[in-house]
Amino acid sequence: MAISEVARVQLRLSDLFQQFNQGRNFKELDAQLLDIKHDIIYKKRRSPLQLQTNADAKTVHRTIQTITSRIMDDRTDAKVSNDELGVLLENIGLLDEQVRDRGIFFTFSGLMSREVFSQEQIWDCLAYLSQDEILFNHILEPENDAVFGRSLAVMLISVLLVADRIYGGVLTSAQYWQVIQQVATYALLEQDDRGYVPEKGWAHAFTHLGNVLAESTNSRLTRAQKLFFLTTCLVGYQSATAPFSFGEDQRLAMATVNLVDKEKFYADFLLELLQNWLRRLPEEPDAGDYLFWSRWYNRTHYFASLLLIPDTPDQLVKFLQKRPQY
């Protein structure tokens, strides 16, 4: 049986990480990841949107109301059932903005902040959200509405990783890395760079990636794992084909600084990535098309956002201040 395109990318990423973990491709990692990105075979046509259930928005809304009324009673013993969580998770792809963004997302955030999840539920939800069928649903196809479910899955992963930290670390190191590996694969595969979509709500995939990256910097991941994930997120951002205009550069810059201000080793690695980025995309081109200028300004805005963050390490500030500001 032929291997799927997603599985092929996963295998190549796993191999690259093993090399990186052994220090064999420290300076080449970003170029190697870009090669993988460029080699991805995307489909030319969309297929009919596949959702996980046939539930309608009213059914999901009733479940949200039931959970909210119980939790908001401030009862210390209030719990959410596995069946209720299942209704929320299985409907993250609904195209109704009120139910998806303002309902499911807000409910999950409330459950996390009130520490309502059981320890087992944190992993069960993460395992569901990070599976291929959810995170990569229609991801190889041209711009499509499945992005709302994919992107919300990434956002909820960030929420649940915060819950893991609040609970004192209920995931094993292997489980945590398993989730991050899937999100790293997502960072390379995702090609839908829309922010807010009229009448449908937020896609915002690359902002949500920044949320996972920001949370992972405070985790028990190894240095190699953190830097590998940072590089995949930056390569995904660099490869976007349209200009970002909904704060993606700011979110990614804040997440980056969360990591690199922890120790000089991280800052040195990021400086190498930024220098490579400049070499690939000249600062003063003779000519450029729409794709070039989209990527050029995305980089410029990311650099500017790094400069605006007070905690950006001095060596990076000095490097960035030498760049022309347009």
Alpha-carbon distance of 252 to 214, in angstroms, equals 8
Tracing tokens 């520490």 back to the chain, one arrives at 115
Q: Is the pLDDT of residue 51 over 90?
A: no
Question: What's the pLDDT score for residue 1?
Answer: 42
Give whole-number Cα distances, 104 to 88, 219, 271, in Å: 6, 25, 39
Question: What's the pLDDT score for residue 109?
Answer: 93
Can you give the pTM of this predicted structure?
Answer: 0.95
Torsion of CA 190, 298, 270, 235, to 10 degrees: 20
pLDDT band at 58 (very low <50, low <70, confident <90, very high): confident
Alpha-carbon distance of 210 to 196, in angstroms, equals 16
What pLDDT digit, counting tens, does each position of 172-220 carry? Answer: 999 999 999 999 999 999 999 999 999 999 999 999 999 999 999 999 9
Strands (E), the chain: 196-197, 201-202
Give the mean model confidence (pLDDT) for residues 39-65.
88
Question: What's the pLDDT score for residue 285?
Answer: 66
